[in-house]
């Protein structure tokens, strides 16, 4: 509330647990401006229904009617005064407008000096089709030199939380309290809460300085003497974060009791983490560690391992380059990332595609002397240079080059490869790829740590950046009105390595070869060659240093 009246502060961000007085603070700010510093005020609630409830229960009943200083300044909406409705209240020198973040109409028109955004993590991504509700509200305040934006919320899911991202952009203040026994100032953290086995009534807070187990009265004593400490430079945005341990109204035992009740249920633990700790929730076990994958790099000794039966390729098209991944397949979906190349060049020029063709249509030599061609290639047409991709795919259809387009959506809702269509000007067959489903498959394979079915091998020539990109996305579970949805989100801007892997996998699905049958046949022919040494070996063991070494070699030109 002090920050709201500080002229140096442009924005105020409060990330906190539930029942810590966030909305009460908003009401106090409204009351202050009705009485002392009248101006146009906008309050944003997540929905229109919540805006109406907030107006009736909190503003009209709780604030206006109960506060003598402002009671006479705002007319009752029942007085048939057109200036006063549930969602719009005029007072001398200003007005209070309350809107739902889901209602674009409420966010248009009137200029506003003070914008108060409540429970921002429950806002829709877009107000109707008008865009981000907070940005819309921000625009309304643009003409006031002394404008102020206040954002307040209990956080939700990591990477998906407006309030956390706003807090991270602020000066990140935390509340430090002194120990009554040793004087050490500290932030109250859940990890310092102690209790004896399963008994919440024994809950105490262990001081970080002297280890004394604080009672609730010690805790209240400390909180009353605390102060805010910023952890980042102040650039006009004051950010405050606070958890349930600071609540003077909630005994510590209640927090522990709730925790014990929910700790085994991730869905309930998520709610507790958001509302009591005031922290975002991150799904565990849904990320892949780039280091553990990078540590698996192995030497293929400059040839394709002999377990590989079939090669496919995946190509990602960017504005200044093509990236191609050569991918090997063995028995039971064991696979090998043979190479990943970046070919710089403008994809609108033929030379770039000629270079790609020279890679795709060469062969790769295996350790047992076979020459493997690439049996299928998928090229992304969904982003850049769509027409050039169509032309290349059509021209090289005989080489099984396919144009594809990634389709997003919930994991499992789309097959890895859908039915192709020719609904494009080039009449090129276009395969829809369920990218989230494919990534889910790859991520489950990343977790396989023993060689054999499903295991993915990585060449020692793949650079660290490759593994950063493979893990550039992660699964998040989004919760909305009690319904959850799993999708991939980017946590790093570049992810071509992962995309190419998806496309090479899609190519393997499209060509539909039976790798196990090929492997068995090869074994049979080897065995019969051993039994009857007079027969010529079906597989040539004569080293041909020509094509594969020249074109399909393992030059690492990653940049
Ligand atoms: Zn102490």
**pLDDT tens across the length of the chain (559 residues):** 999 999 999 999 999 999 899 999 999 999 999 999 999 999 999 999 999 999 999 999 889 999 999 988 987 766 666 668 889 999 999 999 999 998 877 777 778 999 999 999 999 888 877 888 898 888 888 888 899 999 999 998 887 789 999 999 999 999 999 999 999 999 999 989 999 888 999 999 999 999 999 999 999 999 999 999 999 999 999 999 999 999 988 999 999 999 999 887 777 888 999 999 999 887 654 566 777 889 989 999 899 999 999 999 999 999 899 999 999 999 999 999 999 999 999 999 999 999 999 999 999 999 999 999 999 999 999 888 999 999 999 999 999 999 999 998 777 778 899 999 998 888 999 999 999 889 988 988 888 888 999 999 999 999 999 998 888 887 766 654 444 567 777 777 788 999 999 999 999 999 999 999 999 999 998 888 777 655 554 544 444 333 333 333 333 334 3
- What is the whole-number distance in angstroms between the Cα of residue 186 and the centre of ligand 1? 9
What is the 264 CA–ligand 1 centroid distance (Å)? Answer: 32
pLDDT for position 210: 94
* CA–centroid distance, residue 248 to ligand 1 (Å): 19
Nearest-angstrom CA–CA distance, 413 and 411: 6
Whole-number Å distance between alpha carbons of 351 and 344: 11
Question: What confidence score (pLDDT) does residue 547 get?
Answer: 39
Output the six-digit token pair for 79.
């007085």
Q: How far, in Å, is the centroid of ligand 1 from the Cα of 206?
A: 8
| Angstrom distances, CA of residue 225 to CA of 150, 168, 181, 185, 218 | 25, 26, 13, 10, 11
CA dist., res. 316 & res. 471, Å (int): 17
Q: Could you tell me the distance, in angstroms and rounded to a whole number, from the CA of residue 233 to the centre of ligand 1?
A: 29
Q: How many whole angstroms from 1 Cα to the centroid of ligand 1? A: 30
The answer to whether the beta carbons of residues 155 and 274 sit under 8 Å apart is: yes
Helix axes 496-511, 435-446, angle to 10 degrees: 100
DSSP code of residue 281: B
Cα of 213 vs centre of ligand 1, distance in Å, is 9
259 alpha carbon to ligand 1 midpoint, in Å? Answer: 25
Q: How far is ligand 1, taken at its centre, from the CA of residue 249, in Å? A: 22
Rg from Cα positions in the chain? 31
Question: How far is C-alpha 96 from the geometric centre of its chain's CA atoms?
Answer: 36
Ligand 1 mean position to 221 CA, how many Å? 12
Expressed in angstroms and rounded, the spacing between residue 222 Cα and the centre of ligand 1 is 10
185 CA to middle of ligand 1, Å?
A: 8
Ligand 1 centre distance from Cα of residue 509 (Å): 63
- Ligand 1 center to 97 CA (angstroms): 47
Cα 260 to ligand 1 centroid, rounded to whole Å: 26
CA distance 307 to 227: 65
CA of 184 to the centre of ligand 1 (A): 6
Distance 241 CA to ligand 1 centre (A): 22
Rounded to the nearest angstrom, the distance between the alpha carbon of 202 and the centre of ligand 1 is 19
Query: Do residues 412 and 437 make contact, with C-beta atoms less than 8 angstroms apart?
Result: yes
Which contiguous run of DSSP H or E holds residue 186? strand 185-187
In angstroms, the CA 402 to CA 12 distance is 52
At residue 479, the 3 state secondary structure works out as strand
Span from the CA of 212 to the centroid of ligand 1 (angstroms): 6
CA of 179 to the centre of ligand 1 (A): 5
- Using the mean position of ligand 1's atoms as its centre, give its distance from the Cα of residue 204 in Å: 13
- Taking the centre of ligand 1 as the mean of its atom positions, its distance from the CA of residue 263, in whole angstroms, is 29
Q: How far apart are CA 525 and CA 480, in angstroms?
A: 57
> What separation in Å is there between the alpha carbon of 99 and the centre of ligand 1?
47
47 vs 41: CA distance, rounded Å: 18
CA of 196 to the centre of ligand 1 (A): 20
Ligand 1 centroid to 178 CA: how many Å? Answer: 8
Collapsing DSSP to helix, strand or coil, 441 comes out as: helix
| Spacing, Cα 223 to ligand 1 middle (Å) | 14
> Ligand 1: distance of its center to the CA of 20 in Å?
25
Determine the Cα–Cα distance for residues 314 and 500; give it in Å rounded to an integer.
5
Q: Which residues pair with 227 in a beta bridge?
A: 176
Query: How much distance in Å is there from the Cα of 376 to the middle of ligand 1?
Result: 67
Measured distance CA(63)–CA(53) in Å, rounded: 13
Tokens 């980042």 correspond to what residue?
A: 232
Q: Which of 259, 248, 267, 262 is nearest to 193 (CA)?
A: 259
Q: How far is the CA of 453 from the centre of ligand 1 (A)?
A: 56
Question: How much is the pTM?
Answer: 0.56
Percent of the chain that is helix, strand, coil (3-state, to 5):
35, 25, 40
pLDDT at 206: 94
CA nearest to 176, candidates 238, 230, 226: 226
| H or E element that contains 184 | none
Distance CA 228, CA 14 (A): 12
**CA 195 to ligand 1 centroid distance, Å:** 18
Q: Is 288 in contact with 446 (CB distance < 8 Å)? A: yes
For ligand 1, a single-atom ion, the residues with CB < 5 A are: 179, 181-182, 207, 209-210
CA of 208 to the centre of ligand 1 (A): 6
CA of 258 to the centre of ligand 1 (A): 26
> Rounded to the nearest whole angstrom, what is the distance from the C-alpha of residue 189 to the centroid of ligand 1?
14
Surface-to-core class of residue 36, CB atoms within 10 Å of its CB (0-12 exposed, 13-18 middle, 19+ buried):
exposed
Q: What's the pLDDT at 481?
A: 42
Query: Is there a contact between 176 and 206 (Cβ–Cβ < 8 Å)?
Result: no
């Amino acid at each position: 509330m002090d920050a709201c009246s500080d002229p140096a502060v442009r924005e105020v961000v409060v990330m906190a647990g539930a029942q810590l007085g966030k909305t009460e603070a908003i009401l106090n700010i409204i009351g202050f401006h009705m009485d002392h510093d009248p101006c146009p005020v906008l309050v944003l609630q997540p929905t229109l229904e919540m805006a109406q409830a907030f107006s009736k229960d909190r503003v009209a009943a709780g604030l206006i009617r109960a506060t003598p200083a402002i009671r006479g300044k705002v007319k009752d909406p029942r007085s048939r005064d057109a200036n006063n409705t549930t969602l719009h209240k005029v007072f001398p020198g200003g007005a209070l407008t309350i809107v739902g973040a889901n209602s674009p109409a409420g966010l248009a028109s009137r200029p506003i000096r003070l914008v108060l955004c409540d429970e921002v993590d429950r806002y829709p991504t877009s107000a109707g089709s008008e865009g981000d509700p907070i940005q819309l509200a921000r625009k309304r305040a643009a003409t006031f030199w002394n404008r102020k934006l206040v954002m307040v919320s209990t956080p939700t899911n990591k990477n998906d939380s407006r309030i956390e991202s706003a807090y991270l952009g602020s000066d990140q203040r935390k509340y430090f309290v002194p120990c009554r026994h040793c004087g050490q100032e500290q932030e109250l953290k859940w990890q310092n809460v102690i209790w004896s086995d399963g008994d919440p009534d024994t809950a105490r807070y262990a001081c970080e300085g002297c280890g004394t187990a604080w009672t609730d009265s010690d805790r209240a004593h400390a909180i009353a003497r605390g102060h805010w400490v910023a952890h980042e430079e102040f650039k006009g945005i004051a950010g405050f974060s606070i958890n349930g341990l600071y609540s003077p109204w909630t005994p510590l035992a209640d927090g522990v009791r709730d925790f014990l009740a929910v700790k085994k249920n991730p869905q309930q633990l998520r709610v507790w983490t958001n509302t009591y700790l005031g922290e975002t929730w991150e799904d565990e076990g849904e990320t892949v560690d780039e280091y553990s994958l990078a540590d698996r790099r192995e030497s293929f000794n400059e040839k394709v391992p002999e377990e590989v039966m079939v090669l496919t390729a995946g190509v990602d098209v960017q504005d200044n380059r093509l990236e191609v991944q050569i991918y090997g397949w063995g028995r039971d979906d064991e696979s090998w990332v043979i190479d990943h190349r970046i070919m710089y060049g403008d994809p609108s020029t033929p030379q770039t595609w000629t270079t790609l063709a020279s890679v795709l249509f060469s062969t790769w030599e295996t350790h047992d002397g076979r020459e493997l061609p690439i049996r299928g290639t998928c090229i992304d047409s969904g982003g850049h240079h769509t027409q050039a991709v169509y032309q290349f795919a059509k021209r090289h259809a005989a080489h099984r080059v396919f144009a594809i387009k990634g389709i997003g959506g919930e994991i499992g809702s789309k097959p890895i490869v859908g039915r192709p269509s020719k609904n494009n000007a080039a009449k090129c067959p276009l395969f829809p790829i369920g990218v989230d489903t494919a990534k889910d498959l790859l991520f489950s394979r990343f977790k396989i740590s023993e060689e054999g079915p499903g295991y993915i091998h990585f060449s020692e020539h793949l650079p660290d950046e490759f593994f950063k990109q493979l893990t550039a996305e992660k699964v998040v579970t989004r919760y909305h009105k009690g319904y959850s949805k799993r999708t991939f989100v980017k946590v790093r801007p570049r992810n071509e390595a992962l995309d190419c892997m998806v496309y090479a996998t899609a190519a393997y699905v499209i060509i539909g070869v039976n790798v196990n049958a090929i492997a068995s046949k090869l074994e049979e022919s080897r065995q019969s060659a051993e039994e009857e040494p007079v027969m010529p070996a079906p597989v040539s063991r004569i080293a041909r240093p020509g094509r594969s070494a020249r074109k399909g070699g393992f030059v690492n030109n990653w940049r």
